[in-house]
Amino acid sequence: MPNLDVKIPPMGESITSGILAKWHVKDGDVVKKDQALFELETDKITSESTAEAAGTITLKAAAGDEVKIGQVVAQIDPEARDQKPEARPVPSSDPPASGLQPRSSESPASDPPAKTPTTAKAKAAVPAAPLPAPASTPASAPKVSTPTGARQTRRKLTPLRQRIAERLVAAQHEAAMLTTFNEVDMSAIVAIRAKYQDDFVKKNGLKLGFMSFFIKAVVHGLKEVPALNAQLDGDTLVENHYYDIGVAVSTERGLMVPVIRDCATLGLAAIEKAIAGTAAKAREGKIALTDLEGGVFTITNGGIFGSLLSTPIINPPQSAILGMHTIQDRPVAVNGQVVIRPMMYVALSYDHRVVDGREAVTFLVKVKQALEDPTRLLLNF
């Protein structure tokens, strides 16, 4: 049976190459069918490739190499899958001369050669000469510390990181980006989560988070202010009538934005499950290009890292992005009284070429109202 070529799989029409980021196997390993072989990083996603058959694998490319779509990076020999590598014979050493013990194979090659018995006796008869006293070091001499490691590490940016950098710079150069801020009293949502969390976990197998509330509030805002659900395509304004919301996910390889589809028709539990599934795929490097395409609006949550306030950058070709931040107990005035409430700053960055300031502020107020009084989401006002 001929050897099976392991090739870089097609990743989409716009992707022609990538970086072979990591091998999960070593040269000469016996692999099983569907076993993970390597990770490929492109300018859009990181994906994992598996073995199409069992056998012994021979690697043709090294981790870190730039590879083309369709390039052969390994071969699998199906006939060798049950063979075990033969034990290599250990070379016999010559018998030791003059009755000396053989030299240990673990001794460093730089050890001095063994001495003959005659030489050893002669040296033993000579009394050891006293060592000269060490020269005294002046007390004022400074101690020079030797660095224990490199002061810098240089490595080439991955295609994904390069692509992220290009898109962020392009967003700032091409869009007339502006940010408006507000703050949200999270008391109602905190109370809902505290009251129903146990029942929600028992029924759905995962926790009720904050993101699902924000996604529903954003959908509500987009329906109320459709200008936020539009984007420029050259000199054409494209108005979207669907609600696929991107959720920014931080991974070891960079920021990814998987898209949750049809959020207008999903309940909180379905949204939480979709978020958990796509986020796990993104962090494990198993996300597909289709998971990242087609979003109309993005939400990013810097609060999970402790950010109190920031100005998010829009995700082209979208026209707006909402930034969530950490929840912090703060004194606020309610009905003329100062009370302590769990407050969150929110930031809306938008493309002023598409969205006017009045529309941006109105949208953010609608989101704020829906979060502070979630009943509005049920009554649709």
Q: Is 6 exposed, middle or buried (0-12, 13-18, 19+ CB in 10 A)?
A: buried
Q: Is residue 321 over pLDDT 70?
A: yes
| Alpha carbon distances (Å) from 251 to 75, 186, 269, 286, 365 | 31, 27, 24, 12, 31
**pLDDT, tens digit, 9 for 90 and up, residues 119-152:** 444 444 444 445 445 444 445 555 555 555 688 9
CB 295 within 8 A of CB 315: yes
Instruction: Let me know how long the chain is.
Output: 381
351: which residues sit within 8 A by CB, 6+ positions away?
A: 175, 176, 177, 231, 232, 314, 319, 320
Answer whether 208's CB lies under 8 Å from 271's CB: no
Residue 356 appears among annotated catalytic residues: yes
Of 8-12, 21-25, 127-131, 316-320, the one with minimum mean pLDDT is 127-131
DSSP 189-254: HHHHHHHHHHHHHHHHSS---SHHHHHHHHHHHHHH-GGGGEEEETTEEEEP-S--EEE-EEETTE
**86-119: per-residue pLDDT in tens?**
444 444 444 444 444 444 444 444 444 444 444 4
CATH number of 4-80: 2.40.50.100
Catalytic pick among 27, 34, 356, 373: 356
Show Cβ contacts of residue 103 under 8 Å, excluding neighbours closer than 6 positions: 111, 114
CA-closest candidate to residue 240, choices 257, 261, 212: 261
- Distance, in Å, from the CA atom of 189 to the CA atom of 195, rounded to the nearest integer, reads 10
Spot the catalytic one: 198, 199, 262, 352.
352
Per residue in 224-273, pLDDT tens?
999 999 999 989 999 999 999 999 998 877 788 999 999 999 999 999 99
Fold adopted by 159-379: Chloramphenicol Acetyltransferase (3.30.559)
Which residues belong to CATH 3.30.559.10 in the chain? 159-379
User: What CA–CA distance (Å, rounded) separates 333 from 315?
Assistant: 35
pLDDT score recorded for residue 139: 52
Residue 81, pLDDT score: 57
172 exposure class (CB count in 10 Å sphere: 0-12, 13-18, 19+): exposed
The CATH 2.40.50.100 domain(s) of the chain lie at 4-80
pLDDT digits (tens, 9 = 90+) for 174-204: 889 999 999 999 999 999 999 999 999 999 9
